[in-house]
Amino acid sequence: MIIDEKSSRLWSLIGSRATFGLTILELGKKNNLMVLTADTSTSAGLDRFKKTFPEKFLDVGVAEQNLIGIAAGLASEGMNVFTATFGPFQTMRCCEQIKVHVGYMKHKICMVGLASGVVLGTLGYTHCCIEDISIMRSIPGITIISPADCTETVKATLAAIKHKNSVYIRLTGDMNQPVVFNKDYDFEIGKGIKLLDEGNIAIIATGTMVHKSLEAAKILQEKGIIAKVINIHTIKPLDEKLIHELSINSKLLVTVEEHSVIGGLGSAIADFKSTLNDAPPQLFIGLPNEYKKSGKYVDILDNYGLTSEKIAKTIENKHKSL
Amino acid sequence: MSKEKDILNKINEMTKRMRKNILDMSLCAGSESSHFGGGLSIVEITATLFGSIMSYDPKNPEWEDRDRFILSKGHGCLGYYTALHEIGLISKDDLMKFEKTNSYLLGHPVMNRKKGIEFSNGSLGMGLSIGIGVALAAKKRKKNYKVYVLIGDGECNEGSVWEAAMAAPNFKLNNIISIVDRNNLQQTGTNKEIMSVGDIAEKWRSFAWDVIELDGHNIKELYDAFSNERNSTKPLAIIANTIKGKGFSFSENNNDWHHKIMSKSQYELAIKELEKKL
């Protein structure tokens, strides 16, 4: 797939789910592939794939436990298997199947959690997913990728099929996403990316919060506060080398994520950081561990301080207290 | 005809040795205890499958055209490991390490293809879904192997069993055979007391499976059901009426033996009962 300014603009317009669909269409041309959904083919951007490669597509109906079981059976016979459904159903409805088939038996599956985070806020918290990173992190042997934008969704999907371990790809954000990467770049699973590399505050973000953190850094800069911005697209395995380096060179680490502050990126970094001598303090920015009134995506993000302005403000306040 | 008689005799002899080995393993497990009853109820089923029905190559356990067996009711492993011993994949020494630390034979199967253990099982309601994936892979790759999935009747309380039961006929998987070990007992009581599945044969039939009901301890009935050529596009469910703890006076239909420590005196009594039948 050609990755340039034009394609990244197109993908950002159609959003991460449709971008995943286009990428899997490309993979279907030459791979020993099976793509499984649970009555979610349209939501996963898979309608073209279904038409083009009917023999490589399987809909198991609204039955996620069966989804993971069948995927594991196919994988055990050497097939490359993707599953795709909405975040909560991809990770929690079938959590024990993931534990046994993917974790315990190590059958390799690429699982894609669609519309994770709070993008589906108007549908209520049944369809939001602020727990998936936390849950998936606790199961051994699963790589967790949370792409920063649609270009990174392409890169992550292409990398996942070649990866030796099972992968959970967490798709966040809406259509008309902002672009973080408008040209091709080195994407390596488990290796964070420094987007801004100056200053003694390190903003470490994942998923949709990467772009918001870049914008927040601009606002902070106007106030004379210089911050690094790091894209941690792979939450597990965590780029410990990079986090170590940031801990040495920063007086504050800020983690920003569209996920509960329990068990997500912030927790993963705190777990590691607690093993270091003289690590700087950490500011957790994310969704609180509660199910409150839901609503439009932009409103939820605003309510919980996940806009560029509010992220900048929270960091500025913390900065004053340092 | 005499060939079939020889086969049935061979399977019958297998079941006797398997029961002896189950006794040895249960005694050897000591205070770790073992799932005795649910292992004994499936002995004739696994003996018939491994003794005559399934294709495999003990010298090449991962032969890609082998028939696959999935013990979805993983706690029935005594009736599985002893069958794998019969075909030479598991040694008697290894059987006697059952449930010991670092043994590969735990109280629920742990995937070990070289030893013929296809998947890790034990958490109930998961085997049939895996079997569907394996059966689909056969269709995709134009392979003729069959997939046998052994499920407990108590296990049929799990909703995921029915997700899979719904899917297999939709995918026209006539290469998957689901065997329900209907011993009418589950961990803490009878099916009726705990959670009745009702007319279980009718349930599978209503999900569009071909269904055969038989006596799960009658080797001829099992052999006929498994070996009959089928021209159906449907998957096959075999409802095997069995007796939990089958083979020994003290354990038959006695749910205390779902998971129980075997004493030396019980072992000796059981050996005597087995010798009478030999």
pLDDT digits (tens, 9 = 90+) for A268-320: 999 999 999 989 999 999 999 999 889 999 999 999 999 999 999 999 999 99
- Compute the nearest-CA separation of B8 from chain A (Å): 32
The residues spanned by each domain of chain A are: 5-170, 193-321
A71 contact B CB<8A? yes
Architecture of the domain spanning A193-321? 3-Layer(aba) Sandwich (3.40)
Torsion sign over Cα B191, B196, B202, B204:
negative
Which pLDDT score, from 0 to 100, does residue A150 have? Answer: 98
* Number of domain units in chain B: 1
Kindly determine whether residue B126 and residue A101, on different chains, have CB atoms separated by under 8 Å: yes
A61 contacts on B by Cβ (under 8 Å): 163, 166-167, 170
Which pLDDT score, from 0 to 100, does residue B254 have? Answer: 95
- Report the percentage of chain B scoring pLDDT > 90: 97
The DSSP secondary structure of B63-76, one letter per residue, reads -TTS-EEEESSGGG
- Note down the domain range covering B266: 2-277
A97 contacts on B by Cβ (under 8 Å): 126, 129, 160
Kindly determine whether residue B164 and residue A66, on different chains, have CB atoms separated by under 8 Å: yes
Identify the band that residue B278 occupies on the pLDDT scale cut at 50, 70 and 90: low
Question: Contact, A294 vs A129, CB < 8 A?
Answer: no
A55 contacts on B by Cβ (under 8 Å): 140
Q: Count the neighbouring beta carbons within 10 Å of the beta carbon of residue B183.
A: 28
* Closest chain B residue to the Cα of A79, Cα to Cα: B137
A55 contact B CB<8A? yes
pLDDT digits (tens, 9 = 90+) for A210-252: 999 999 999 999 999 999 999 999 999 999 999 999 999 999 9
Which pLDDT score, from 0 to 100, does residue A293 have? Answer: 86
A71 contacts on B by Cβ (under 8 Å): 133
Pick from A66, A75, A105: CB nearest B163: A66
A98 contact B CB<8A? no
Give the mean pLDDT of B83-96.
Answer: 98
A77 contact B CB<8A? yes
pLDDT digits (tens, 9 = 90+) for B24-49: 999 999 999 999 999 999 999 999 99
* Closest chain B residue to the Cα of A56, Cα to Cα: B140
- Compute the nearest-CA separation of A28 from chain B (Å): 15
Q: Count the neighbouring beta carbons within 10 Å of the beta carbon of residue B131.
A: 32
Which pLDDT score, from 0 to 100, does residue B1 have? Answer: 56
Regions in chain A scoring below 70 on pLDDT:
none
A109 contact B CB<8A? no
Q: Count the neighbouring beta carbons within 10 Å of the beta carbon of residue A123.
A: 12
3-state secondary structure A140-172: CCEEEECCCCHHHHHHHHHHHHHCCCEEEEECC
Which pLDDT score, from 0 to 100, does residue A161 have? Answer: 97
All residues at 6 or more sequence positions from A186 whose CB lies less than 8 Å from its CB, including other chains: none
Does domain A5-170 fall under CATH 3.40.50.970? My reply is: yes
B159 contacts on A by Cβ (under 8 Å): 65
B144 contacts on A by Cβ (under 8 Å): none
Q: What gap in Å lies between CA B71 and CA B121, rounded to an integer?
A: 7
3-state secondary structure of B214: strand
Kindly determine whether residue B129 and residue A70, on different chains, have CB atoms separated by under 8 Å: yes
CATH number for the domain spanning B256: value is 3.40.50.970
- Tokens describing residue A30: 């030459």
Which pLDDT score, from 0 to 100, does residue B58 have? Answer: 96
Please tell me whether the interface predicted TM-score (ipTM) of this complex is above 0.95: yes
- Same CATH fold, A193-321 and A5-170? yes
Q: What gap in Å lies between CA A297 and CA B70, rounded to an integer?
A: 45
- Report the percentage of chain B scoring pLDDT > 70: 99
Question: Contact, B209 vs B1, CB < 8 A?
Answer: no
Residue A275: CA count within 13 A, CB half-sphere: 9
